[in-house]
Chain A
Amino acid sequence: MADDLEQLYQSTYTSVVRFLYRRVWDLDRAHDLAQEVFVRAMNHRPEKPRAWVFAVAANLARDEARAAMRRKKHLTLLTNDPIVMPAAEPDAQELVEQDERMASVHRALDELTPRDKEVLLLWDAGLTYPEIAAQTDLAVGAVGTTLARARKRLVAAHERLTAGKMDDAAHS
């Protein structure tokens, strides 16, 4: 059993961190939460460890998002000053472009409903339809429908969000 869990850890830790990263947008936090998930798994000894691990990760991410929302509200109350971004150094150009690409996908993803987003991220993390269905209370047959909608919306939202920038680039 312990060996099973260790194997699962070796094979899915990276996916769990990536899954969490896409929910909390902080790599250190994603690592912390992912390790918390596996430490909990050692206590619980779940029957279906893979699905369990992602279910707990999703719950932790939800709690984290709520806490972040509260902090954000609190911070907004504390300061009215706009946050000044540090100026990018020229040799950091490649990083900035990567950041921009990521930001546009991040924004597109945020336009999805919470359920569509969760199903899409769970699929991308490698979960099967039945595993996704069990975790999201959807019927297995509805997972395909949800994924179809989520994929279309993500691509459409991303195209819409980046279209303006491409026009700008074309005109300049």
Chain B
Amino acid sequence: MLRRTAKRDRLVGLFIAGAVLLNPPILNLVGGTLFGWPALYLYLFGTWAVLIGATAFIMEGRRSGSSSQDDDGDNP
């Protein structure tokens, strides 16, 4: 129970971070190009990927044995 609440709270933390980072005004701080690529493109997709990676880490990182059954269906 406690573990699950901790997971939930971490995701809420990620949500707040994501809502701030992926919206103006923070978003408007990025502009121009980086290595010839649009910096905004790199920033948005980079931040997005980090958010997803962190979510995956939280959800799958210290998984319990009960969800191992879940894996079977995914690798046909």
B is bound to A = no
